[in-house]
A and B are shown apart, each in its own frame.
Chain A
Amino acid sequence: MDVKPLVAARGLTKRFDEFTAVDAVDFDILPGEAFGFLGPNGAGKTSTMRMVGAVSPITAGDLTVFGLDPVSQGAEIRARLGVVPQQDNLDEEIPVDENLLIYGRYFGMSRAELWPRIEELLSFAELSERAHDKVAALSGGMKRRLTIARALINSPDLLLLDEPTTGLDPQARHLLWDRLYRLKQEGVTLIITTHFMDEAEQLCDRLVVMDNGKIVAEGSPRSLIEDYSTKEVIEVRFPVGIQESLVDRFDGLAKRVEVLPDRILLYTDDGDATMHEVHVREIEPESMLDRRSTLEDVFLRLTGRTLID
């Protein structure tokens, strides 16, 4: 592969006093790709993102963004980035369109080139009708879309999205995913951090799973599932307080049995056969469902924990 990576990290480390937030991670992000950092809160995703965004000095290791050094060439890097932070940081006092205007000015764009761009971006974000409203009056989903529009004002080569849909209702999330998907189609390189496995599956071509500052696995959503999980999962639930006494009876019933506080997961390549076997053993759960493996299962396998505690 002779494509030069947009972002390359080797042994990238971030420490805050005694605490190691990012612990010697390696990754390459290629042009045009949608790359994900999947992991629970506190895994080091945001710290990694801030170092890539050239607003957080690295503690050790090597990091290049567009082939540049984030410490000495931070301004040049930031000029080509779009950043969607975890928490919205729009200027609430001024109208929607002026938020974009002001932001464009920080990138040195002229008003003449900004106004047509703003019109285009507001229509992309479905906010044209709210152009003159104050930001404070917008819903959570609208603010999020405006933040994304703002991040696109300078036509960035790389868009950093930190937990883009956290706190949004399902409808707002799907609209946002649709917009991000369109950007991907247009060839914008995306880096997404998320603790939602469905988000990672929907948007990412390739992702790394992070836990405690380390990368524990890397691959496409599909290859990760193939490598670390089975085709199907049977979820078995019992009435409260009953599960503990029944755990032993699942021994050898599936390739892997995972006992969670509220349910038992049976990893199998043949769901029907496994469900049949549950009946044969005369186990009578409250409910039982057969589903496909997801990245959540990959994470559970790798770390022994669920993504959202």
Chain B
Amino acid sequence: MAATQTLRVVETQARAYRRLWRGNVVTTFLNPILYLAAMGVGLGVLVDEGSGRSSLEGFDYLTFLAPGLLAASAMQTGTGDAAWPVMAGIKWQRHYEAILATPVAVRDLVAGHLLWVAVRLLMLTTIFGLVMVLFGAVGVSGAVRALIPGIATGMAFAAPMTAFSSWTEDHTGLTNVFRFGILPMFLFSGTFFPITQLPGWMQPIAYATPLWHGVELTRAWALGIDPTFSAVVHFGYLAVWIAVGWLLAIHFLGKRMIT
């Protein structure tokens, strides 16, 4: 029963998305193209001419950057899709109230919402992978291997963010997550440079961020190298964020809606 209810929530999300997908696909292509052109190619030439390569495990900058950026984009999409749409469901459009008046339960709604975010992440990572291949950053097999860790990274943010959006009262809370959480992580969690470049005291913080584990894993799998820790550790860490976030999302959404 619960599984079919979950799929119905996914179905309705997909139906609403049918009206948005054109604009959405264009931005999903445009983002990696712009970033890889500016940072990977433009900035990359300077990095590759300098002493950069030795710190980048022998890869040129574009190749180093692209998989990390895929993981970071998954983080942004995962967080974003679990922020404003959730708050709209709770208080702006209030359609969560309508859904929960039917046989659908809170856990089905959370599962359906997160499953739909996973579908969106699959679209994002696929398009991103295609752009990486077109830029010559990685081969087709590398792009394919980046899909799973990329989606896992996005989900490690989507699940706890769903919990946070269910808990926080208004949109300033959401904006603050991006300002003080997502942006610093985007810049300092190994996407643009290895975290060994960070001052010593900052490195443990980077280790604690789910993004670093996602970047590390996605880069390793895309480039066919060994990650810092074993893949099991990195995946396990992301899985903890997904599982705890998921349970908290059910808890907080229930507390908010079933009063």
Contact = CB atoms under 8 A, between A and B. Distances in A.
A and B physically associate:
yes
Interface of A: 16, 50, 53, 55-57, 74-76, 78-79, 81, 83, 85, 87, 89-94, 98, 101-103, 105-108, 150, 154
A89 B100 contact: no
A94 B16 contact: yes
Q: Chain B contact residues: over half helix, strand or loop, or mixed?
A: helix
B95 A91 contact: yes
B225 interface: no
Interface in B226-259: 257-259
15 contacts: A16-B259, A55-B258, A75-B103, A79-B103, A85-B94, A85-B98, A85-B101, A89-B94, A90-B95, A91-B12, A94-B19, A98-B15, A105-B8, A105-B12, A106-B103
Contacts of A89: 93-95, 97-98
B196 interface: no
Contacts of A98: 15
Contacts of A81: 101
Contact of B16 (A57, A90, A91, A106): A91
Contact of A93 (B8, B16, B104, B258): B16
Contact of B11 (A55, A76, A79, A105): A105
A95 to B, nearest CB: 9
B253 to A, nearest CB: 12
Contacts of A90: 93, 95, 98
A55 B109 CA distance: 14
A144 B8 CA distance: 25
B259 A56 contact: yes
A85 B1 CA distance: 26
Contacts of A108: 4, 8, 103
A106 B259 CA distance: 21
A91 B16 CA distance: 9
Given A89-B93, A90-B95, A91-B93, A106 B102 contact: yes
Contact of A106 (B15, B104, B258): B104
B43 interface: no
B38 interface: no
Contacts of B94: 85, 87, 89
A93 to B, nearest CB: 6
B96 to A, nearest CB: 8
Contacts of B257: 55
A106 B257 CA distance: 17
Contacts of A78: 101-103
B15 to A, nearest CB: 6
Contacts of B183: none
A106 B8 CA distance: 6
A74 B8 contact: no
B251 to A, nearest CB: 15
B99 interface: yes
Given A56-B258, A107-B102, 9 more contacts: A50-B259, A89-B97, A89-B98, A90-B98, A91-B16, A102-B12, A106-B12, A107-B103, A150-B98
B105 interface: yes
Given A85-B101, A106-B102, A57 B15 contact: no
